[in-house]
A and B are shown apart, each in its own frame.
Chain A
Amino acid sequence: MSDENVLIKVENVQKYYNGGAIKALDGINTEIKKGEVVVVIGPSGSGKSTFLRCLNLLEIPTGGSIFFEGTDITDAKTNINVHRQRMGMVFQHFNLFPHMTILKNMIIAPMKLQKKSEAEATALAMELLRKVGLDDRMNAYPSQLSGGQKQRIAIVRALCMQPEVMLFDEPTSALDPEMVGEVLEVMKQLAKDNMTMVVVTHEMGFAKEVGTRVMFMADGKQVEEGKPHELFENPQSERLQTFLAKVL
């Protein structure tokens, strides 16, 4: 690929269910550059989560291609596991491993996949834990944490693999309202540190403040895309206007 700065290139990606009866994604095209924070918004069922999950192939697209660092990861010959190590993902329901301590949750992947020593992996994990203010909980189990704490751990667990890009799938949707702020704060800090991020969210405030680009999806299509202030202040399509009228 010519442009060095393009991290992920999405070419006409489709995801069909029931042999095409349901079109969850209907031809998505986009480029995600290094350092960008792309926020994907849209009504429920618009395909935004499906789109995000296609980026690391948790969903396998029915058609189209996705290039990550120049490699076509939708090619059956590509070893997706190698590329996933460079793409962190944060889920709506945290998905921490309940049978491991917080520290073990964070160091298992670096130790097993990057062959780091326990000391090395622990050092990085502790540094990240300190950043999110949870270093005192390193020996706790996930069930002992609050939702906000769990999600902060989920974020730093993904960061322990030192990924090139972080994918967020509605990271605050399962949280009590008073815990949303602490998670968004961590994400904002991450954006400040120049992490490339793709965020599916309903937090319009976050999209406006942190997003470098906002993508509005509906019915499996990109309806509108642009800088946050353009999109929010001057929506072009009727779909986006009605959507914003409802959520803002």
Chain B
Amino acid sequence: MAEWLEQIQAQFELNFISDDRWRYVVDGLSVTLKVTFFAVILGIIIGVCIAIIRSTFEKNKGEMPFGFNKVVLYLLNGMGQIYLTVIRGTPVVVQLMIMYYIIFASSNNKVLVAVLAFGINSGAYVAEIVRSGIMSVDDGQFEAGRSLGFNYVQTMRYIIIPQAFKNVLPALANEFIVLLKETSVAGYVALQDLTKAGDIIRSRTFAPFLPLVGIALIYLVMVMFFTWLVGKLERRLRNSER
């Protein structure tokens, strides 16, 4: 028993203490968090915009008279459709590499490239989640807003989106958990995120167990913390209706 413990301790020292290897983990974690955080924000912005365009299109395409607005709406909806098809139809690693080696070939800011790649990718999934939320809000809510004199955008902002958001919170939380873990492929463009950090340590020490299980634990703790946070938010939002 004691021997086993000593072995672990030696392994720990080898992998994380000597040569200050823990720095890889800390730096990697900060990169992962940075990329995830900004990608989530970008994903929400893109997703909500596309969701509003798509649900506006679906609700109004029949009623709208032919004119400039209708043409614009059809164009925007078409662009949204193409975006969703391409993003959801190709692997995120390929999108990341296209972004790094082709679109931003001249840039050396890997974090920015990763944020863009993961944010644009996540936006497609967020768009469909938010759209389902918007469509689930009763039409009467929309009519009540409009009858008070709110315009379309105000009705969306004050009345529909807050209710839609509450309806889709669990699905959104799930998407962000997926995103956090998906950033682990950032190593493909040599970005030193948490996963890459573990891999680098493994390649230096030739002892894969602790570095890999160690970063796995860090991901797990982050996801558990996030799940707990969302659960709290969900309860608070739901309490406001009782």
List the interface of chain A (C-beta within 8 A of B): 56, 58, 60, 76, 81-82, 84-85, 87-89, 91, 93, 95-99, 108-109, 112-113, 141, 143-144, 157-158, 161
Contacts and interface: CB of A to CB of B under 8 A. Distances in A.
A91 B241 contact: no
A143 B241 contact: yes
A95 B240 contact: no
B200 to A, nearest CB: 48
Given A76-B65, A95-B144, A112 B151 contact: no
A200 B207 CA distance: 79
Most buried by A among B141, B149, B163: B149
A82 B148 CA distance: 10
B236 interface: no
B89 interface: no
Given A82-B149, A97-B144, 17 more contacts: A56-B147, A60-B63, A81-B151, A84-B149, A88-B147, A91-B143, A95-B143, A95-B144, A98-B241, A99-B162, A99-B240, A109-B149, A109-B150, A113-B150, A141-B242, A143-B241, A157-B148
Nearest to B162: A99
B168 interface: no
B160 to A, nearest CB: 10
A22 to B, nearest CB: 14
16 contacts: A84-B149, A85-B148, A88-B147, A89-B147, A95-B141, A95-B143, A96-B144, A97-B159, A99-B162, A99-B240, A109-B150, A112-B158, A113-B149, A141-B242, A157-B148, A161-B148
B146 A85 contact: no
B154 A112 contact: yes
B165 to A, nearest CB: 9
A98 B150 CA distance: 17
A58 B143 contact: yes
B238 to A, nearest CB: 11
Interface in B156-189: 158-159, 162-163, 166
A108 B143 CA distance: 15
Given A58-B146, A141-B241, A97 B141 contact: yes
Contacts of A109: 148-150
Contacts of A108: 158
Nearest to B237: A99
B91 interface: no
Contacts of B65: 76
Contacts of B162: 99
Nearest to A82: B149
B140 A112 contact: no
B73 to A, nearest CB: 16
Contacts of A87: 147
A21 to B, nearest CB: 15
A93 B242 contact: no
